[in-house]
Amino acid sequence: MNQTLRILDILTKMQEQSDVFQHKGEGLLDDISLAEVHCIDCIGMMDHPNVTKISEKMGLTRGGISRISKRLLGKGLIESYQEPDNNKEIYFRLTESGQYVYDEHKQLHNQLREEWLSFFERYSDDEQAAILRFFTDINGLFNGKPADKTDKAGW
């Protein structure tokens, strides 16, 4: 992944963590938390998503995903199912309403991504490398990981 896309990924994570990334302005999150939208996003992208797969992808505990999935089931945004040959495992899929949230979230991310890509075209590769290092270090602070002074690339 080139450094511009890495910068965008970190910037998006930082925006979401700091609540600057405002889905509410779009009406998307009026009754849905950001964690619920990201859970919907995982379910929409995965093949046979279950609590374990979603928790690994989102970096949350299985208990946390269970609570989020119960809220999403209650809101009618996802439904659970079992495969006929496996009565043990419970999987999730999006309902029509959940698919709408998934599609709107993707569209918003794509729009913001295009705006940021256009913005970063103004900077040289060396400038982008410095920006990437800066954002990587800041993101590390948000996640309780101090910057490694020896790692100039931030990775």
Concatenating the DSSP letter of every residue in 10-51 gives HHHHHHHHTT-S-SGGGTTTSSS-HHHHHHHHHHHHSSS--H
- Give the integer Cα–Cα distance in Å for 36 and 146: 29
In a domain, 18, yes or no: no
- Per-residue pLDDT tens over the stretch 45-61: 999 999 999 999 998 99
Question: What distance, in Å, lies between the first and last C-alpha atoms of the chain?
Answer: 12
CATH at residue 54: 1.10.10.10
Count of domains forming the chain: 1
Most confident stretch, 76-80, 84-88, 149-153 = 76-80
> Is 52 inside any structural domain?
yes
Global pTM?
0.70
Residue 37 has pLDDT above 50, yes or no: yes
- C-alpha pair distances (Å), 2 with each of 9, 50, 62, 69, 100: 11, 31, 32, 34, 31
Assess if residue 13 is contained within a domain: no
